[in-house]
Structure 1
Amino acid sequence: MRRSLPLVVSAAVVAFAAQAHAADMALEEPAVAVAPIDVWVATIKGTGFYQPRFEGSKEYSFSGAPGLSIRRADEPYKIGSPDDGIDIALINTPSIQFGPTARIRSERDSSKVSRFRGMDDIDYGIEPGAFLEYYPSEFIRLRGEARYGLWGSEGFSGTLAADGIFIHDRLTFLIGPRLELGDNKFTNTYFGVSGREAARVGVSSYKADGGVKSVGAAASATYQLTDAWSVTTFGRYDRLTGDAGKSPVAKTLGTRNAFTVGLGVGYSFAWDGFKF
């Protein structure tokens, strides 16, 4: 499936969002009739992406990703970005949301990219974990994810994101910086080069340590077509940094830069299927 941006951009985006006119940005949620506490609302999303075949690759391909959020009808609507993990908010208040999350990381099939032939393949990774969102104001969203990879890296990784939220009528626009991290095992899985691989592809062997893997920025625009249906466009830029950026995977075989564009559709519905 799947140059550093100064952190000043983050501060500028957040400051601008906080000073926006409240009259044009009243935070609204898709209309759902007032319902008793045992009624739930689910939002199912599907997004198609055009992005690198895998991290470091110069070649691009199409992929898709599902999305799901579930909340009680009396809880606040959760604004999300297409690059969020799949999650369910077990704690859902106007200022804090917390719960389990998961991501699917694309495989590395080296046979599909000529420069990478001879590198070991890497399986798809399923990364379960937890997320925390904090809203210091209704126009700023801060999100963190901590995950552990299964099958792919079998290491820990994380994502930090900040978004300014701009709302006008049925249009919601999010924009802000992104930062991704990984431990030694995670980073070396995707950006290390063993002696055997080095001999096959003609680069130096390399051991990658953990730390900040990439920095970048993302933006999305969601338009609420009806109370149930919405459509979202998405764009993101990432630049590999730290040991990942210094790796022959990025510097010689591929590239440090990655661009992603996406288009998605969401559907929300209410039901009283949970009985406790």
Structure 2
Amino acid sequence: MFALGLLCAAAPLRAAHTDEPQPGASEPSWLDGAAAQAHEWNMIVGGGFRVEPKFEGADDVKIMPVPMIMADFGPYISVDVRGLTVNAFDYEGLSVKGRVGYDLGRDSDDDKHLHGLGDIGSGAVLGLDLAYDWEPVQFTVALDKTIGGGDGFTAKFGAAYSVGFDQFQFSIGPSFTWADGNAMESYFGVSDRQSRKSGLSRFDADAGIKRVDLELSGLYMLDEHWVVRGEVTFGYLTGDAADSPVSQRNFQPSTMFLVGYKF
């Protein structure tokens, strides 16, 4: 955690310390109080952009703004743009976290290729994150259940190698994602009705490994407050996700760039 520095002007020596306000001293403003609270919460605020496929399996990409908001409310609860995380267990490299987030679904207006398939509504996501640190490698498992929307279950298994150089941190690692039948059918299946409306061939998408990814990320501390983060992911659809007529291209790269201020 980085300290929030307070600059004080030189003052004459006093005979003794007292908690009473000194003559001419001003009361702390609401802004000072807010900054002190943000420091206590280890808050990071900023933003950037992300370049990714218009939908999973798309040939075209979209550029979208990305907010960067992170805060720790004590040792057990943290919040970021993905939702709320509860640190349930952390001992000798093994950690278990519960997560409540959201899934935005998919809009058929996002791309003309999706016309006739209908929208996939948004839904709540209940997640369980397991991690084991075997420095410099971390092994992770992320289990997500979507309630509403696609109403599916996914399990992501990954490993990442991390190394640091002074103010710079770098990480690289592979992962693969398994999805159940509901998740696969929602995003990659084409029913008889959808086929008639969209012109795509009818397709049943079964449970299985839907994609593999290689992620590279870097973080650089410009000073004790300003942080820059970049990320590049090379994804590739597999199984029924790759064979689906919804998918235009199996190679699914994305990149993200963020700048934040740490209190």
TM-score class, shorter: 0.7 to 0.9
1:32 deviates by: 5.6
Does residue 114 of the first structure (1) align with residue 112 of the second (2)? yes
Backbone CA RMSD of aligned residues: 2.9
Does residue 265 of the first structure (1) align with residue 262 of the second (2)? no
Structure 1 residue identity aligned to 2:108: S
Alpha-carbon distance in structure 2 between the residues aligned to 1:43 and 1:143: 24
1:99 deviates by: 1.1
Does residue 214 of the first structure (1) align with residue 215 of the second (2)? no
Number of corresponding residues: 225
Q: Which residue of 2 aligns with 1:156?
A: 153
Query: Could you report, residue by residue, the CA deviation over 1:56-106 in whole angstroms, capped at 9, with x for unpaired residues?
Result: 122221232555363757x9xx9xxx9988634332346122212245444
TM-score normalised over the length of structure 2 = 0.75
1:121 deviates by: 1.3
Alpha-carbon distance in structure 1 between the residues aligned to 2:157 and 2:69: 19
Residues 70 and 89 in structure 1, CA contact (< 8 A), matched pair in contact too: no
Alpha-carbon distance in structure 1 between the residues aligned to 2:236 and 2:104: 18
Q: Are the structure 2 counterparts of residues 266 and 159 from structure 1 closer, same or farther at C-alpha, using a change threshold of 3 Å?
A: farther
Alpha-carbon distance in structure 2 between the residues aligned to 1:94 and 1:225: 31
Alpha-carbon distance in structure 2 between the residues aligned to 1:171 and 1:186: 37
TM-score normalised over the length of structure 1 = 0.71
Listed as ranges, the gaps of 5+ residues in structure 1 are 1-29, 34-38, 270-276
Alpha-carbon distance in structure 2 between the residues aligned to 1:257 and 1:86: 31
Q: Which residue of 1 aligns with 2:121?
A: 123
Q: Are the structure 2 counterparts of residues 92 and 266 from structure 1 closer, same or farther at C-alpha, using a change threshold of 3 Å?
A: farther
Residues 69 and 88 in structure 1, CA contact (< 8 A), matched pair in contact too: no
Q: Which residue of 2 aligns with 1:96?
A: 94
Alpha-carbon distance in structure 2 between the residues aligned to 1:117 and 1:96: 45
Alpha-carbon distance in structure 2 between the residues aligned to 1:159 and 1:204: 29
Q: Which residue of 1 aligns with 2:63?
A: 62
Residues 238 and 250 in structure 2, CA contact (< 8 A), matched pair in contact too: yes
Query: Helix, strand or coil: the match of 1:199?
Result: helix
1:3-152 alignment, distance < 5 Å: 30-31=1-2, 41-44=41-44, 46=47, 48-63=49-64, 64=66, 66=68, 68=70, 70=72, 87-93=85-91, 95-137=93-135, 139-152=136-149
Q: Are the structure 2 counterparts of residues 221 and 71 from structure 1 closer, same or farther at C-alpha, using a change threshold of 3 Å?
A: farther
Residues 105 and 150 in structure 2, CA contact (< 8 A), matched pair in contact too: no
Q: Are the structure 2 counterparts of residues 265 and 143 from structure 1 closer, same or farther at C-alpha, using a change threshold of 3 Å?
A: farther
Structure 2 residue identity aligned to 1:214: R
1:220 deviates by: 0.5
Query: Could you report, residue by residue, the CA deviation over 1:143-193 in whole angstroms, capped at 9, with x for unpaired residues?
Result: 111111133211111222211101000000010102112111111110100
Alpha-carbon distance in structure 2 between the residues aligned to 1:89 and 1:104: 18
Larger mean Cα displacement after TM superposition, 165-174 or 203-212: 203-212
Residues 43 and 266 in structure 1, CA contact (< 8 A), matched pair in contact too: no
Residues 126 and 150 in structure 1, CA contact (< 8 A), matched pair in contact too: yes
Residues 221 and 232 in structure 1, CA contact (< 8 A), matched pair in contact too: yes
Query: Helix, strand or coil: the match of 2:151?
Result: coil
Q: Are the structure 2 counterparts of residues 257 and 166 from structure 1 closer, same or farther at C-alpha, using a change threshold of 3 Å?
A: same
Does residue 176 of the first structure (1) align with residue 203 of the second (2)? no
Residues 67 and 86 in structure 1, CA contact (< 8 A), matched pair in contact too: no
Percent of residue pairs identical: 25
Listed as ranges, the gaps of 5+ residues in structure 2 are 5-38
Residues 69 and 81 in structure 2, CA contact (< 8 A), matched pair in contact too: no
Q: Are the structure 2 counterparts of residues 268 and 134 from structure 1 closer, same or farther at C-alpha, using a change threshold of 3 Å?
A: farther
